[in-house]
A and B are shown apart, each in its own frame.
Chain A
Amino acid sequence: MKSIDNLCVIDDDKVCQFIIKTYAAKRSLAKNMQLFSDANEALQYLKNTSTDPKRLPDMILLDINMPIMDGWTFLEEFQKIRENMHKDIIINMITSSIQEDDMLKSKSYSDVAGFYVKPLNEELIINMFEHLPVE
């Protein structure tokens, strides 16, 4: 199983955070994890670490429906700061939305690697890591 250094989870749903955290830890998928309930805070974190590839996440799991800043807005903001980051960051969207619109919309963002529909389970999470590009 591939594993990464930094996994960043942006989801206001604490249960989802807990589930990802637990599986990732048990299957040793990531060495470090940053969990955010607020996309704004995540954005701040990325801005602060943008020049430090060691601390920047290898993968971001992004929820769509969140208060204050939703997943789409995060993506817009992320595009603005991505240039400064010398690292390829994989973004996977995870959402409880079963609306096709959302899936189509996610394809219009080149940063988004995958679109996954909740509920989260072991298979789905493993799947995301198996789709990691070969180095």
Chain B
Amino acid sequence: MLKIKESELWEEKLHSIFSNEMIGVGFSDVNKIVLEINQKYADILGYQREEVIGKNWEEFSDPKYGEYDLANYQKILRHEITQYTVEKKYIKKDGSRIWVEIAVQPIYKPDQSIDFFIVLIRDINQTKLAFEQLAEQLEITENLLKKLEYQHELLKEFAHITSHNLRAPVGNIVSLIELYKNQKIDSEEDRKILIEQFENITFNLQETINTVGQALEIQEQTNIKIETIQFGELFQSVLKGLIGKTHDLDFDLDLNFSACPEVNYSRTYLKSIFQNLLSNSIKYRSNERKLKIEVTTFIQEGKKVLTFKDNGLGINMDRNGKYLFGLNKTFHKSKNSKGIGLFITKKHVEAMGGKIFAESVENEGTTFTLILNQYEKY
């Protein structure tokens, strides 16, 4: 008599666990069919209890998070593990998604085969969403920081330009005027040289100011037109543009755009980038071998990457690496270099949220790598 009462009490306790309002409790069979769930489980899913019972649980599981879940499920079936807990999204009756934490444990028959599963679920939607929001905020903050760093770099660069590219020629003008005033110029020849140098300085200053202006314009440009560009088509049009100029166009060209044929970009900028890289390769080709240029695009970690490789003279990177993209920095003798092309190229790439860097071995060649969409546009 007493014994029956005890077992009745026990069953009551068990039932109170099943009908709790904190955690969803359910049972399913080895074929993923839901056998029974409590009210809380149904509430989390936004269904009536009867609507869920008999369903395959994959039907209301967001497939985006299913892989890890299913992998563990398989492990249980293979007796490799005895329970598992995952966070995943359920699809509610109204189609919306809800984050839940699920703990699954099989109950075995005497012959060790699986009888059914106990499934406990907890609504973790609020926490998850808060985390997602936090991550989003963090990303925004990180982007802001990157933007600040970038702007700091720009300021430093302009300080450098002021110190070198502007201060030097202006200083030279002052020196020349003093020389003239101190009456150190007394021959006709020296006078001619003096005038010639005045002309050169003025011309170079004007060019520097124009280039800096152009760079500023690229950085300030906020409403540049972005369009889908086929690499192959644009490259051909740049090549055509080179014909008729003084360049020697006898070189091998290897274009591989198949892995990533197009990009959303400013046509003007990409055209200028191609023109500058191409004319650099042609200008700094080696006399010892036929010029070969390889241009390849591909996708790496979700980012579109373009590599531009030649077998030309190359650059001593230990010595010049840090100046490579600087204004009026030149690395080869008597090639009529002005040190403008790569300076502007870097500005174009960065204005589109990308990055450019170079690898080079002297007398072997140079490879430029452009990550076209590294960041959100600055």
- B-contacting residues of A (Cβ < 8 Å)? 13-16, 18-19, 22-23, 26, 38, 65, 67-70, 73, 96-99, 118-122
Contact = CB atoms under 8 A, between A and B. Distances in A.
Contacts of A70: 319
Given A19-B175, A119-B174, 6 more contacts: A13-B172, A14-B200, A19-B176, A67-B332, A68-B332, A120-B175
Given A69-B319, A70-B319, A22 B190 contact: yes
Contacts of A67: 329-333, 337, 339
A69 B167 CA distance: 21
Contact of A122 (B170, B182, B193): B182
What 7 A-B pairs have minimum CB-CB distances, sorted nearest first? Answer: A119-B171, A96-B168, A67-B330, A15-B172, A119-B175, A119-B174, A118-B171
Contact of B178 (A15, A26, A38, A121): A121
Given A23-B179, A67-B329, A119-B172, A97 B164 contact: yes
Contacts of B168: 13, 96, 118
Nearest to A98: B163
Contacts of B74: none
A120 B176 CA distance: 9
Contacts of B182: 122
Count class of interface residues, chain B: 20 to 34
A68 B163 contact: no
B289 interface: no
B190 to A, nearest CB: 7
B91 interface: no
B185 interface: yes
Contact of A16 (B172, B329, B330): B172
Nearest to B197: A15
Give the one of A18, A26, A73 with max B CB within 10 A.
Answer: A18
Contacts of B5: none
Contacts of A69: 319
A19 B333 contact: no
Nearest to A121: B178
A121 B16 CA distance: 98
B361 interface: no
A74 B197 CA distance: 27
B361 to A, nearest CB: 16
Contacts of A119: 170-172, 174-175
